[in-house]
Structure 1
Amino acid sequence: MDESHDEVKPQIIIIKRIKKVKKHGHHGGSWKIAYADFVTAMMSFFLLLWLLSLLNKSQLRSIAEYFKHPQKTGLVQQGTKINKDQKFDFYLEKGKEKEKWKDLEKEKQKEKEKEKEKIKSPLQTESKMNEGKKDKLMMDKMDKILAMKKDFEDKLASHPELSQFKNQLNFVVTADGLRIVLRDLENKSMFTLGKSDFEKYAKPILEWLTKELNNYPNQLVIIGHTDSAKFKNGKYTNWELSVDRANATRRTLINYGMDPNKVMRIIGEADTDLLDKNNGLNPANRRIEIIILTDEAVNKINKK
């Protein structure tokens, strides 16, 4: 055996160290957070822009004013208390805009009032003129009635035979004209008791009245009144008696020469309109009333 083969050569061990070079690796999840913040900020920004696009000019001016003077002014929410001494350099929507609308509404209202005044002015002038005419006509009418009343009273007082009956003849000015009242006195009746026949002394009064009534063109209404005494039989009442006495007066005046067309109405009112309301049996309640009508009163009667 060869000795050379008996020697064992030492085995050389080679250790190869590989140096690993680290490439750029990931940085964890921090970048995601940063990106999310960026996206959120952009969304907020665009949301802000969208909200700003919805505001009107007044609100935009208010926001701009706030950023100019953040310590002096700001948006005022509903219900916020404001100090009396606090001054604002701007108007909010509920301030300046409302003031503008109020001013416009006031101007429109003024214009409407002016137009109304233009329309009303001629009408008011005409109305005042008509009222003035009506007042003048009313005064003229009253003057005529008063003059008529004085004429009757003066002639009655100066009449030698009829002056004794001045307590039975009254002249009253009314809205419808002059009311002539012929009333009974105690123990001195114009009519026979319970009948429509005139007593003898009453006829000269009616004759004188006829003459005086003919001096005026006015038409007449004759009204009969009674006291509250009742008839025993019940078939003939104060209603019939009052009408019969009014009609008897009409006939007597016509017999003495009065135009029949002067009488428009004869009316019987029985004891419904007593002169002495506390004593229905007072003789003064028995009376005849002759109303000398104004033109207006005649028109009222004709319309009825």
Structure 2
Amino acid sequence: MAKKHAHHGGAWKVAYADFTTAMMALFLVLWLTAQDSKIKEAIERAFRNPFASLTKESMGIVPNKDVQATHQQRGNFESVSAMEMELLRRITEDLAKLFKQNDDEDAKSVKFDLTPDGLRISVFDFANRPIFKPDSAEFTEYGSWVFSTLAWEISRYTTFRLELEGHTEAGRPMLRPDYGSWELSADRANAARRLLTEHGVQSDQLHRVAGYGDTQPMEAAQPKAPSNRRVAVLLRKKLEQQTS
């Protein structure tokens, strides 16, 4: 009479499933503990309210109160992926730490604003820490250092296009009969373009270089304020990304 094979049962499968689940849980715990506080807060909010959409605040970005975004701009901002928003935040933090560690006055000379459509970096031409020689588009040694430092960081992120703006304060006298605030602001923006490309920024990242004279003051109530004398570098999404 033939012997019947013993029935082994499925207990080992249950044990293996438990082991796999435990390992997955351990992996998730280790991954979460490695994240920074902003990502942890976003994940916690997602579990509490899984149907909530990502907002600027959920990515740890403080809205710039000085920027009044239009409805279209807000739409562009919300279309930016969470990864891109996190990347812009990290670029801002890295640059802010770099300038603050070097000198407190450097931190005052460079301002970072996350806006509805990207990152605006304003470099001020203050009298006590000028970036340009007087009434000129020629950089001071300090100005060259600032823009070469910006170039080193920006050149690492080729997924963003760049726009450069030159601005002056109101009330400047004409330097020559045919050379005033418009020409000076445009030349300074173009000088910044040249320096950025000399220090690693790819030319195809540059989308626009413009001088606005004294028409767009930083402080509307004080058009003659020194803070209006500045060059702005804007990091925006590339056009093909915006239209995709």
Unaligned segments of structure 2, at least 5 residues: 1-51, 55-74
* 2:32 aligned partner: none
Residue number in structure 2 paired with 1:256: 199
Paired letter, 1:194: D
Match of 2:216 among 240, 253, 273: 273
Contact 1:176 1:297 in 2 (8 A): no
Q: 1: distance between equivalents of 2:168 and 2:188? A: 9
What is the CA–CA distance in structure 2 between the aligned matches of 1:258 and 1:142, rounded to whole Å? 21
Of 152, 155, 163, the residue aligned with 1:211 is: 152
- Would the aligned equivalents of 2:113 and 2:121 in 1 still touch at CA under 8 Å? yes
Matched, 1:168 2:115: no
Matching residue of 1:185 = 126
Deviations 1:4-35 (A, max 9, x none): xxxxxxxxxxxxxxxxxxxxxxxxxxxxxxxx
**What is the percent sequence identity of the aligned residues?**
26
- How well do the aligned residues superpose, as a CA RMSD in angstroms? 2.7
In the superposition, relative to structure 1, how do residues 136 and 204 fare at CA in structure 2: closer, same or farther (>3 Å)? Answer: closer
Please give the residue correspondences for 1:5-16 in structure 2 after superposition, counting only pairs within 5 Å. Answer: none
1:150 counterpart letter in structure 2: E
2:135–2:175 contact (8 Å) kept in structure 1: no
Describe the SS at the equivalent of 2:220: coil
Change (3 A) 1:298 1:200: farther
Partner of 1:231: 174
Q: Which residue of 2 aligns with 1:222?
A: 164
Q: Which runs of 5+ in 1 are unaligned?
A: 1-130
Q: Match for residue 8 of structure 2? A: none
Provide the secondary structure at the position in 2 that maps to 1:293.
strand
Compared with structure 1, are the counterparts of its residues 289 and 258 closer, same or farther at alpha carbon in structure 2 (3 Å cutoff)? Answer: same
Corresponding residue SS for 1:167: helix
**Bigger-Rg structure (1/2):** 1
Higher relative contact order at CA 8 Å, sep ≥6: structure 1 or structure 2? Answer: 2
Change (3 A) 1:219 1:137: closer
Q: Calculate the TM-score normalised by the size of structure 2.
A: 0.61
